Amino acid sequence: MPQYAKFTHIITAMGALKTSLIAGLFFISIMPLSVWSAEAKTISWEDLIPENAPQLAAPPSITHDSPVTVPPAQSEQIDVRPELNGKAIKLPGFIVPLEGDENRVTEFLLVPYFGACIHVPPPPANQIVHVKYPKGVPGELLYSPVWIEGPLSTSTVATELATSGYSMAAVEVTEYTE
Protein backbone atom coordinates (compact mmCIF):
# COMPACT_ATOMS: atom_id res chain seq x y z
CA MET A 1 0.00 0.00 0.00
CA PRO A 2 1.50 3.34 -1.05
CA GLN A 3 2.29 5.75 1.75
CA TYR A 4 -0.13 8.47 0.52
CA ALA A 5 -3.06 6.01 0.14
CA LYS A 6 -4.18 6.51 3.72
CA PHE A 7 -4.67 10.22 2.97
CA THR A 8 -6.81 9.78 -0.16
CA HIS A 9 -10.06 10.37 1.74
CA ILE A 10 -8.63 13.67 3.06
CA ILE A 11 -7.46 14.69 -0.41
CA THR A 12 -10.87 13.81 -1.88
CA ALA A 13 -12.69 15.75 0.85
CA MET A 14 -10.46 18.80 0.33
CA GLY A 15 -11.11 18.72 -3.42
CA ALA A 16 -14.87 18.62 -2.81
CA LEU A 17 -14.58 21.43 -0.27
CA LYS A 18 -12.58 23.55 -2.72
CA THR A 19 -15.17 23.00 -5.47
CA SER A 20 -18.04 23.87 -3.11
CA LEU A 21 -16.24 26.98 -1.89
CA ILE A 22 -15.57 28.24 -5.42
CA ALA A 23 -19.19 27.60 -6.47
CA GLY A 24 -20.48 29.33 -3.33
CA LEU A 25 -18.30 32.39 -3.87
CA PHE A 26 -19.45 32.60 -7.48
CA PHE A 27 -23.14 32.54 -6.54
CA ILE A 28 -22.64 35.01 -3.69
CA SER A 29 -20.84 37.42 -6.01
CA ILE A 30 -23.56 37.43 -8.70
CA MET A 31 -26.58 37.18 -6.42
CA PRO A 32 -26.59 40.78 -5.13
CA LEU A 33 -26.59 42.15 -8.68
CA SER A 34 -29.48 39.99 -9.82
CA VAL A 35 -31.47 40.61 -6.63
CA TRP A 36 -30.74 44.34 -6.90
CA SER A 37 -31.89 44.56 -10.52
CA ALA A 38 -35.20 42.91 -9.71
CA GLU A 39 -35.88 45.29 -6.80
CA ALA A 40 -34.91 48.69 -8.26
CA LYS A 41 -37.98 50.75 -9.15
CA THR A 42 -37.66 53.19 -12.05
CA ILE A 43 -38.81 56.62 -10.94
CA SER A 44 -38.98 60.08 -12.50
CA TRP A 45 -37.85 63.42 -11.13
CA GLU A 46 -41.46 64.32 -10.33
CA ASP A 47 -41.57 61.32 -7.97
CA LEU A 48 -38.97 63.06 -5.76
CA ILE A 49 -41.24 66.06 -5.11
CA PRO A 50 -43.66 65.88 -2.16
CA GLU A 51 -47.30 66.70 -2.84
CA ASN A 52 -47.19 69.87 -0.71
CA ALA A 53 -44.03 71.27 -2.34
CA PRO A 54 -44.24 74.38 -4.53
CA GLN A 55 -44.57 73.87 -8.28
CA LEU A 56 -41.32 73.81 -10.23
CA ALA A 57 -40.60 76.43 -12.83
CA ALA A 58 -39.28 75.36 -16.22
CA PRO A 59 -35.49 75.05 -16.30
CA PRO A 60 -33.87 78.32 -17.34
CA SER A 61 -32.35 78.46 -20.79
CA ILE A 62 -28.58 78.60 -21.07
CA THR A 63 -27.27 81.92 -22.35
CA HIS A 64 -23.58 82.51 -22.80
CA ASP A 65 -24.09 86.21 -23.60
CA SER A 66 -25.29 87.11 -20.11
CA PRO A 67 -23.01 89.37 -18.04
CA VAL A 68 -23.80 87.30 -14.92
CA THR A 69 -21.06 84.72 -14.40
CA VAL A 70 -22.29 83.14 -11.16
CA PRO A 71 -25.70 81.46 -11.12
CA PRO A 72 -28.17 82.88 -8.57
CA ALA A 73 -28.47 81.08 -5.24
CA GLN A 74 -30.52 77.95 -4.85
CA SER A 75 -33.72 78.05 -2.82
CA GLU A 76 -33.01 77.09 0.80
CA GLN A 77 -36.27 75.18 1.24
CA ILE A 78 -35.71 71.41 1.17
CA ASP A 79 -38.85 69.31 0.69
CA VAL A 80 -38.19 65.60 0.21
CA ARG A 81 -40.27 62.45 0.31
CA PRO A 82 -39.21 60.60 3.49
CA GLU A 83 -41.00 57.43 2.37
CA LEU A 84 -38.35 57.05 -0.39
CA ASN A 85 -35.54 56.75 2.18
CA GLY A 86 -33.76 53.41 1.70
CA LYS A 87 -35.75 52.46 -1.41
CA ALA A 88 -33.94 50.85 -4.34
CA ILE A 89 -34.49 53.16 -7.30
CA LYS A 90 -33.39 53.73 -10.88
CA LEU A 91 -33.37 57.37 -12.03
CA PRO A 92 -32.21 59.06 -15.26
CA GLY A 93 -30.33 62.35 -15.26
CA PHE A 94 -27.20 64.33 -16.04
CA ILE A 95 -23.89 64.32 -14.17
CA VAL A 96 -22.33 67.39 -12.55
CA PRO A 97 -18.83 66.16 -11.54
CA LEU A 98 -17.50 66.79 -8.03
CA GLU A 99 -14.65 64.28 -7.51
CA GLY A 100 -12.59 61.96 -9.68
CA ASP A 101 -9.59 61.95 -11.97
CA GLU A 102 -9.00 62.53 -15.68
CA ASN A 103 -10.62 59.17 -16.54
CA ARG A 104 -13.48 58.65 -14.08
CA VAL A 105 -15.87 60.60 -11.86
CA THR A 106 -16.46 58.99 -8.46
CA GLU A 107 -18.66 61.65 -6.84
CA PHE A 108 -21.22 63.81 -8.60
CA LEU A 109 -24.58 65.50 -8.50
CA LEU A 110 -27.32 63.94 -10.61
CA VAL A 111 -29.64 66.61 -12.00
CA PRO A 112 -32.70 66.48 -14.27
CA TYR A 113 -31.36 68.66 -17.10
CA PHE A 114 -28.04 69.40 -18.78
CA GLY A 115 -26.15 72.44 -17.49
CA ALA A 116 -27.84 72.61 -14.08
CA CYS A 117 -25.56 74.02 -11.35
CA ILE A 118 -22.95 75.12 -13.91
CA HIS A 119 -24.55 77.24 -16.66
CA VAL A 120 -27.85 77.99 -14.92
CA PRO A 121 -29.05 78.18 -11.30
CA PRO A 122 -29.31 74.85 -9.50
CA PRO A 123 -32.72 73.21 -9.32
CA PRO A 124 -34.43 72.83 -5.92
CA ALA A 125 -32.68 70.44 -3.53
CA ASN A 126 -35.36 67.78 -4.08
CA GLN A 127 -34.30 67.72 -7.74
CA ILE A 128 -30.64 66.95 -6.99
CA VAL A 129 -29.15 63.61 -5.92
CA HIS A 130 -25.63 63.54 -4.48
CA VAL A 131 -24.05 60.30 -5.78
CA LYS A 132 -20.93 58.40 -4.74
CA TYR A 133 -19.84 55.69 -7.16
CA PRO A 134 -16.41 54.20 -6.28
CA LYS A 135 -16.17 52.32 -9.62
CA GLY A 136 -16.23 55.70 -11.34
CA VAL A 137 -18.24 56.92 -14.30
CA PRO A 138 -16.15 57.01 -17.51
CA GLY A 139 -15.49 60.48 -18.90
CA GLU A 140 -17.36 59.80 -22.14
CA LEU A 141 -20.66 59.65 -20.20
CA LEU A 142 -20.31 63.14 -18.69
CA TYR A 143 -22.15 64.87 -21.54
CA SER A 144 -24.87 62.26 -21.99
CA PRO A 145 -27.83 61.31 -19.84
CA VAL A 146 -27.28 58.30 -17.56
CA TRP A 147 -29.25 55.90 -15.39
CA ILE A 148 -28.25 55.53 -11.76
CA GLU A 149 -29.36 52.65 -9.56
CA GLY A 150 -29.03 52.25 -5.84
CA PRO A 151 -30.62 52.85 -2.47
CA LEU A 152 -31.91 56.41 -2.19
CA SER A 153 -31.30 58.34 1.02
CA THR A 154 -33.10 61.49 2.13
CA SER A 155 -29.91 62.88 3.66
CA THR A 156 -29.01 66.42 2.63
CA VAL A 157 -25.53 67.07 1.22
CA ALA A 158 -24.18 70.59 0.72
CA THR A 159 -21.50 71.04 -1.95
CA GLU A 160 -19.90 74.16 -3.38
CA LEU A 161 -22.26 73.97 -6.38
CA ALA A 162 -25.59 73.12 -4.73
CA THR A 163 -27.36 71.38 -1.88
CA SER A 164 -28.99 68.05 -2.63
CA GLY A 165 -32.09 66.78 -0.88
CA TYR A 166 -31.21 63.17 -1.66
CA SER A 167 -28.05 61.08 -1.77
CA MET A 168 -27.05 57.65 -3.03
CA ALA A 169 -24.21 55.17 -2.98
CA ALA A 170 -24.79 54.00 -6.56
CA VAL A 171 -24.67 50.31 -7.39
CA GLU A 172 -24.81 50.90 -11.15
CA VAL A 173 -24.37 53.84 -13.53
CA THR A 174 -25.11 53.19 -17.20
CA GLU A 175 -25.75 55.16 -20.36
CA TYR A 176 -29.37 56.28 -20.67
CA THR A 177 -31.59 54.31 -23.00
CA GLU A 178 -35.37 54.45 -23.16
- Output the DSSP codes for 30-85: HHHHHHHHHHPEE--GGGGS-TTSPPPPPPPPP-SS-S--SPPPPP------GGGT
CB 166 within 8 A of CB 154: yes
Q: Does a structural domain hold residue 59?
A: no
Looking at the predicted structure, is the pLDDT value of residue 17 above 90? no
What is the arithmetic mean of pLDDT over 63-67? 52
Q: Does a structural domain hold residue 119?
A: yes
CB 163 within 8 A of CB 78: yes
Q: Are residues 127 and 150 in the same domain?
A: yes
Q: Are residues 19 and 47 in the same domain?
A: no
Residue pLDDT, tens place only, 133-172: 999 999 999 999 999 999 999 999 999 999 999 999 999 9
Using 50, 70 and 90 to split pLDDT, how confident is the model at 118?
confident
Q: Are residues 137 and 167 in the same domain?
A: yes
Count of domains for the chain: 2
Q: Are residues 148 and 79 in the same domain?
A: yes
Q: Are residues 123 and 150 in the same domain?
A: yes
Q: Does a structural domain hold residue 69?
A: no
Q: Which domain holds residue 14?
A: 3-38
pLDDT at 70: 46
Q: What is the CATH number of the domain that holds 46?
A: 2.40.50.870
pLDDT at 75: 53
Q: Are residues 13 and 82 in the same domain?
A: no
pLDDT at 131: 99
Q: Are residues 29 and 49 in the same domain?
A: no
| CA distance linking residue 7 with residue 29, whole number of Å | 33
pLDDT at 71: 47
Number of neighbouring beta carbons within 10 Å of residue 58: 6
Q: Does a structural domain hold residue 62?
A: no
Residue pLDDT, tens place only, 71-106: 455 555 689 999 999 999 999 999 999 999 999 999
Q: Does a structural domain hold residue 66?
A: no
Q: Are residues 48 and 27 in the same domain?
A: no
Q: Does a structural domain hold residue 81?
A: yes
Stated pTM of the model: 0.70
